[in-house]
Amino acid sequence: MQPEKSFPVSWDMFHRDARALAWRLAAIGGFSAIVAVTRGGLVPAGIVARELGVRVIETVCVASYTDETERGRIEVLKPLTDAILSRPSAEVLIIDDLVDTGATAKAVRDMLPKAHFATVYAKPQGLPMVDTFVTEVSQDTWIYFPWDTGLSFQAPIHAPARRTRRG
Please check if 33 is assigned to a binding site.
Answer: no
Q: Is 97 in the active site?
A: yes
pLDDT in tens, 133-160: 999 999 999 999 999 887 777 677 776 6
Out of 96, 110, 131, 148, which one is annotated catalytic? Answer: 96
- CA dist., res. 49 & res. 148, Å (int): 22
* Residue % of the chain over a pLDDT of 90: 77
- Residue 57 in any domain: the answer is yes
Q: In a 3-state reduction of DSSP, which class is residue 145?
A: coil
Can you give the residue range of the structural domain that contains 105? 5-147
Consult the annotation and say whether 11 binds a ligand: no
Query: Does 17 qualify as catalytic in the annotation?
Result: no
Residue 165: inside a domain: no
Cβ(62)–Cβ(79) under 8 Å?
Answer: no
Q: Tell me if residue 100 is catalytic.
A: yes
Predicted confidence (pLDDT) at residue 163 exceeds the cutoff of 60: no
- Residue 139 to residue 124: CA distance in whole angstroms: 6
pLDDT tens readout for residues 64-113:
766 555 566 889 999 999 999 999 989 999 999 999 999 999 999 999 99
Is residue 154 in a domain?
Answer: no
Q: Which of 100, 110, 131, 148 is catalytic?
A: 100
Contact call for residues 88 and 67 (beta carbons, < 8 A):
no
User: Annotated binding residue at 39?
Assistant: yes
CATH of the domain at 39: 3.40.50.2020
Number of domains in the chain: 1
Residue 23 lies inside a defined structural domain of this protein:
yes
